[in-house]
Structure formats: C-alpha cells, structure tokens
Amino acid sequence: MKNINVFGYATFGTPNGFTQSCIYGNKSLEKILKKFDLKSDAIQLLSPNDRIYSIRKESAQNNILLSYSVYTFAKEKNSNRSGTFIGTSLVFTNEILPENLILSSLHEIHINLKNNNVSGDGFVLNINHSKDFNLQDIFSKDFEKLEYQTHKIDFLDWDNSGYSLVIKTDKLDTNSIQDLFRKSLSILPKYDTVYFIDSKEIAEFVSQKRLFRLIDKNGLDREIEKLQEERVQKVENAILYLKNKRLKHEENGRKELENFKKKIEHNEQKHSANSKIIEESDRNLKALNNLYQAFLRKSDELISKLSSEKGLNDINYSYSQLEKDFLNEKSKLDFISDVSSFSTTRTVSSMPLSRLIPEEDDEPEKSKPDVFKIISAVLNVLLIGGAIVFYTMFYGKPSEPAIPNTTESQENTVIESITSDSASGKLNPTPNAVAENQENIAEMLNRFDRTSTIHYVTDIIFEKNKSIKDVYQFQKNDYKKLLFEKNPEAFRVDNTDTVLIRKDLLQNIPSYRQQQ
C-alpha cells in the first residue's frame, strides 16, 4: 500500500450529487474512506474567494489514515444552489510528509485539478462525476519521490469521538496554514476532523448552526494545553493504577508464599512423624516375628515330649505357661499405628506364611516397597498360625483355613456383567451378518461422540437400520452385550455405564440376513 494517496471530489448536482475518486495511489481506498463531503448544515463555502482547509483522522484495515484537504468554490453544472465546491485531499497511510511539502503539494494538485475541470470566471464544473476528472498534467514529475520523505505518525492515544472543531484565523497564508497543521496534530486524537477558515461569514454561519465547535488561534493554544494536562493526568492515573495492582499482587504473593511455607512445614512434620511410626513398626514387626518363632519352636518341643509318652498334665501345664508368657510378651509390643498419607488408602491383601522374616535374619531389607502391607500380612498370618497350633494340640488336626482375597476389581466385575456368556447365543435369531450400508454407517458415526453411551449407540443403530430393529427391537439388552463383544476396543466401561471412546473402531454391527 502506498503511503501517499490523492482524492479528488466535488458536488456535481443532479443526478450524481457529491462523488469522490482516488486519482493517485490505492484505488481500494475508495470503498473504505469516509466521504470528504462538507456537512452543509454545519459549515459551507459562501463566496468564490472562500477556502476551507481540514485535517481528518480515521482507521481502516489496521492502518492510521490522515487526510489533509482543501475546498474551494465551484458551481454545479445545472444549479445555482449555494455551498457547492471542488476539493482535493492528500491521504497518508501510517506516515506523513513535513507540513511544508504537504501544503505545497496540496495547492499544486488542487489548482491543476480545478483549472482542468472548472470553466472560467463562472466557476462552473464542466463534468458530472469525479470519475470523469481531467487529470492531465495535474501531478509534477517529482511527486512520486515524495514517498521517500515520509515519517511515522505517532499518536499517544486515539479517541473516535465523532467531534469536529473549526478554527478561525485572521488569514490563511502559507506560514499560518503550516503552523495550524503542525499544532492541530496535538489535538487530533480528541477530534475526528479539524477545519481551518479565515472568513468571518463562514465563522458566523458555523456559530449560528452550533453543530461544530468554533475557536480562534488562542483557543487552539488553550485546547492544546488542556489536552496536554489531560494526557498528563491519564498517565498519572495509569501509574497509580498499576502501582496499586502491583501492591495487590505483592500482598497476594506474600500470603501465598506464607501459606505455601506453612504447608511445607506441616508436611515435613507429618513426614517426620510418619518416619518414626515406620521405624517403630519395623522394630515391632521383627520382635513379633521372633516371639512367634520362639513360641512355635517351644510348642514343637512340647509336642515332641508328648509323643515320647511324657505326662500329659505336665505338658498341658507347660504349654499353658508357654502360651501365657507368649501373650504377655506380645502385649508389651505397641500396636502398629496408621501413618498420615498424601494419597488415597490402598487395599492391603493377605500374605502367605512363607513371607515371614527368618529369625536369624537381623539385617533389614534395603527395599521396602510397601511396609504396611507386610506388617498387616505378618500379623494376620501369625495370629492364624498361633490359633492353629493351639487347636491342633487340644482338639485334633484342623483343616487349613482359607485366607480370603479382599481385593476385588469393580471394573472387572462391571465388564464381566456385560460380557459374561456370549450374547450371540441369546439373540433369536442368531446374527449371521454385519451392517454394510456405508451411508447409514457414516450418518450414525456422525451422531456419536466420546460421551455416547452404549444404550444411545444401540438406539441410533436401530433407528438407522430398520432390518436390525425389526428383528432385535425386543432383545435390546442382549444386542448391547453382543455389540460390546464384537467391538471391545471401541468402548470403555465406567463405574455406572459403558461409553463409546473410539467410534472409528465401531466396525462390527451385528445384523441378520434372511437366507434365500
């Protein structure tokens, strides 16, 4: 996109009215730019000697567009109404020229455009539309070189206020206009358009209509000063706002860090307490194991004595004394305490007798993957073992007790309930085919997502396949089970339902095809 574009425009009367055209640069701006038409009920040219200059800002396609314009008197071809004009605008995209080059280029192009398209002393337009402008020799040979002399437009802020300002000056000579152009950039963020006039009649017209604000050059200086004060106040407010936010974040950060530190200290205390419990439990485990080993060994000795015809009463007394001493020593051991855990409690399964720690092994294992399971298993088995020995001595040989497995998988149970017994044998008639209509299958798959239950999937299969529905609509539960069996990778069993997780794996849809 060119940085410099030129628009020409005029009021042409019936039937075209005001039209504008891009006569140099990016033609696509014709559809984007607002019209340069003067709002005739707010400001207008009143005599052939009148001129109006303006600066206008707008944005389009993420670009800042700044337009410098000049309007001069021109009559419509078939009308004598007032306020008619011909005008020229230099439209800059993101970059502008120095004020002296803007004004000299604007004057030169406008004078040439007016000479080519307005007739003589009558100031009458000789064309009916801006697209018919005679553009011969209106641009100098060096005009394109101006592209290399532009500089960035720099606005601190931007306010699409819709306001227009009219500045009345005593004269619109070259120096005055350049000075007005330069100063007005400071207030342009507050106003969309700033007009410059030197005609008392136009100033009175604007004052009477009261649609645009009217000030003089001194008013411009006050406006610049006021805007600067507002900008300073905005900056100060922004600084205060950011400082307050920073303080708030700082305070929140301090509180979060303190809470985090307290949690760490609390967890360290838990860890220390748990370590002590584990160490104590480990010692009690070894002591309990040694106690049982000694008890069982001495029990064997008493049994041997009884077998070698020693006195039954003596043996019974000795065993009772042994058992009493055993229970007394056992009571001196602390029960194992549960430790605090940061995760959910795991189910501890029973352990076989062979996992007992040998009596002569005083060296603890270096790796204890689950010390709580081991402790629980040892206690359970040793207590059972002690009961067995006691019962054997006085009541005969017992049958070996079965140690129940307390760990059950809810998920496996759910799966078994779905897949137990092949459902194909329950369906009548037994399915002998699969759905093959690809269009139906595609429509079904489009209706499934990762939240679709097997119940919903079955309903859609019945809906889209009349032949399947007619045969199995009263056997829906058995059909669901068979659908799961045929496509196990497509479904996932949750706690309460079975959900379709891979609809691309739902490839085997049972059907029945009547034999010919």
The CA R_g of the chain, rounded to the nearest whole Å, is: 49
The pLDDT score that the predictor gives to residue 91 is: 96
Q: What is the pLDDT of residues 92-127, one digit of tens each?
A: 998 999 999 999 999 999 999 999 999 877 889 999
DSSP state, 65?
E
Q: What pLDDT band is residue 10 in, cutting at 50, 70 and 90?
A: very high
d(CA 318, CA 39): 123
In sequence order, which residues have a C-beta less than 8 Å from that of residue 301 and are 6 or more positions away? none
Place of tokens 């606005």: 155
Joined together, the tokens standing for residue 289 give 């194991």
- The pLDDT, as a whole number, for residue 384 is 54
Q: Cβ distance 467 to 512 under 8 Å? A: yes
Per-residue pLDDT reduced to its tens digit, 220-263: 999 999 988 988 898 888 889 888 988 998 898 889 889 989 99
Q: Distance from CA of residue 279 to its chain's centroid?
A: 49
Classify 276 in phi/psi space as left (phi over 0), alpha (psi -120 to 50) or beta. Answer: alpha
Strands (E), 337-452: 433-434
Distant-in-sequence, close-in-space partners of 468: CB < 8 Å, separation ≥ 6: 435, 461, 462, 509, 510, 511, 512
Residue 196: name the closest of 166, 163, 162 by CA. 166
Cα separations (Å) of 276 from 98, 193, 270, 485? 83, 81, 10, 52
Q: What is the pLDDT of residue 253?
A: 86
Distances (CA, A) of 74 to 11, 55, 195: 8, 21, 19
CA distances from 364 to 273, 279, 283, 285, 375 (A): 21, 11, 10, 11, 13
15-24, 373-382, 426-435, 465-474: lowest mean pLDDT where? 373-382
Q: What is the mean pLDDT of residues 314-322?
A: 74
Q: Find the range with the poorest average confidence among 75-79, 206-210, 324-328.
A: 324-328
The DSSP code sequence of 194-231 is EEEE--HHHHHHHHHH-SSEEEEHHHHHHHHHHHHHHH
Question: Is the CB of residue 190 less than 8 Å from the CB of residue 227?
Answer: yes
Tokens of 417: 């309930």
Q: How far are the Cα atoms of 154, 269, 430, 485, 486 from residue 434, in angstroms, in the given order? A: 71, 63, 12, 14, 10
373: pLDDT strictly greater than 70? no
